[in-house]
Amino acid sequence: MTYLYNDPADFADELVDGFVAANSRWVRRVPGGVVRAGRPHPGQVAVVIGGGSGHYPAFAGLVGSGLAHGAAMGNLFASPSAQQVHSVARAAENGGGVLLSYGNYAGDVLNFDQAQERLIEEGVPCRTVVVTDDVSSASVEELRKRRGIAGDLVVFKVAGAAAQEGADLDAVAAVAERANDRTRSFGVAFSGCTLPGASEPLFVVPAGRMAVGMGIHGEPGIEETDIPTADELAGMLVDRLLTEEPADSNGRIAVILNGLGSVKYEELFVLYRGVSARLVEHGLTIVEPEVGELVTSFQMAGVSLTLCWLDDELERLWRAPASTPGYRKGAVCDAASADGAEDELAVTDTTGGRPEGEDVIPPASEDSRHAAEVVVRALVAARTAIEADVDELGRLDAIAGDGDHGIGMQRGVAAAATAAEEAFARGAGAGTVLTRAGDAWADRAGGTSGALWGIGLRALGAAVGDDAQPHAAQVATGIRDALEQIMRFGKAQVGDKTLLDTLAPFSAALDRSVQSGAALAAAWGEATAVADDAARATAQLTPKIGRARPHTEKSLGTPDPGAISMALILRAVHRVLLEKGSPDD
């Protein structure tokens, strides 16, 4: 249970305020997260990490000398937006390029990849290493589908130490990749976690039982067993990881026994007693083990074990000193303080991450302004529809996911509606209003759905433009462009049990109706009926990507929350199009 909070919607922002106030020796706040308080040596590679909040000390607590240079901080259990990642990376970058590293979750991949593209376009060298250490989330034949859990720390630590030594970007990326390839983790949970404002935990483990293979975002385990003794659990964890010992192992390993939030240190030490003995029996030499809370899951009761099979270079970097708010080793010399100076590259506004001085509204025709008013009303209606069903969307998502879809959609659509209203009040046309709304949605919501809705709205805005009132065929083209862009960036297909399973049939039906001569409102209504049926039909699909993928049996029979929220919004837009004064051509 979470006891201390104000407004749950403000929890993530307020925890950053408190974290920075408590740790100003190490970090300073920038839009989107935190960076080191002092500047590293010019030309040093900037290691930028990140992910959802709720995992302290990951990710912000790992920023400091010898480890990360910056951390992008998303909402609770939701990835940071592309704007947040870009902002933190620009603030941390110091002439040596940027290495992005994070756990392998769909939303993180989507948003960090967009940020990387933007950095490269701006002339900043950038590489990515995605952490894939969790043996429970995919088979050894599908290593790249595995998610990142406590093995994050090994990869981040090695990369940060290499950067501290002065290695160039290619070398830092290479050693981080090698660390990831040689790191494996396995975890269990005894109870789920309850987020601020929620009345129920994300999942429940029956009394006397243990969930095996759970994820750090509250995803339930892949099976349940009776709770073993500490020594029996030690054997289970060690034996599973040793099945993937590399053929070239030299017998030297880094070990992390990680508490997920509610298992006390004394219990961890009892468990580590058995872990250490089991590893020594196997003939392994343990190098500077870590026992404690390092990558948590709010207040989940559970533990994970991580092993990294070291080589000479990895061992040197694992042993290297580091000084951060949440992880310290050896003695380091901190860089000079930045004296609280603002980093002009990182200053952004609240409507989607545009730098100051670039917030100019393009000229628009009166016809486009009329259409923009309809767009604003549609987004306000979408906000109302999502707010009415936010709890149900969260419930659907919690069945096989982490339960944050409702709150993420609520934050995203609210930000989009506000940005649209502000842009329209300043004279924006329909295309600009949609683009500003998309930027705000992606930035505020974070996560996979936030990024995808941002991509879709921007694609629609580009097709509509600001020159004239859009006609029905132009809107249909914009919806088709949005579908194609979401598929390209999201790497999903129809049938994967995502929002595409609603959007694709909607787009096809809209095209057919428009081509037959129907006005926009009528065509949209026909397509919405198709979308409603398609959204409900996702109950019979099994997930192919995302956090629900390992839990297909739990998902079967339940519609996809992203598909349902898409249908809700399409229906809300149709009601606006039917109102007097809406474009109907």
Q: What DSSP state is assigned to residue 134?
A: B
Beta pairing class for 328-329 and 322-323? antiparallel
Can you state the angle between helices 472-490 and 520-537, rounded to 10 degrees?
30
Q: What DSSP state is assigned to residue 138?
A: S
User: HSE (CB half, 13 Å, CA atoms) of 1?
Assistant: 2
Burial of 537-567, coded b for 16+ CB within 10 Å and e otherwise, reads ebbebbbebbbbbbbeebbeebbbbbbbbbb
- The verdict on whether 551 is a catalytic residue reads no
Alpha carbon dihedral 560, 562, 563, 569, in 10-degree steps, equals: 140
Beta pairing class for 126-131 and 98-103? parallel
Q: Which of 217, 405, 551, 574 is catalytic?
A: 217
Q: For 530-548, what is the HEC assignment?
A: HHHHHHHHHHHCCCCCCCC
Q: Residue 38 contacts by C-beta under 8 Å, 6 or more apart in sequence?
A: 334, 335, 336, 337, 338
Dump the DSSP string for 314-373.
HHHHHHS-EE-SS-EES---PPPB-TT---GGG-B-TTTSPBTT---PPP--HHHHHHHH
3-state secondary structure of 33: strand
| Contact call for residues 120 and 126 (beta carbons, < 8 A) | yes
User: Cα separation of 433 and 449, whole Å?
Assistant: 20
Place of tokens 């990831």: 180
Amino acid identity of 255? Answer: V
User: Cα separation of 420 and 438, whole Å?
Assistant: 9
Q: Which helix (H) or strand (E) holds 301?
A: strand 301-309
Q: What DSSP state is assigned to residue 221?
A: P
Query: CA 554 → CA 261, 396, 400, 499, distances in Å?
Result: 25, 11, 6, 18
User: Cα separation of 498 and 468, whole Å?
Assistant: 33
Can you state the angle between helices 520-537 and 561-578, rounded to 10 degrees?
160
Q: Is 366 exposed, middle or buried (0-12, 13-18, 19+ CB in 10 A)?
A: exposed
End-to-end CA distance of the chain: 53
Amino acid identity of 531? Answer: A
User: Cα separation of 233 and 274, whole Å?
Assistant: 8
Q: Residue 551 contacts by C-beta under 8 Å, 6 or more apart in sequence?
A: 219, 220, 222, 400, 543
Catalytic positions are: 217
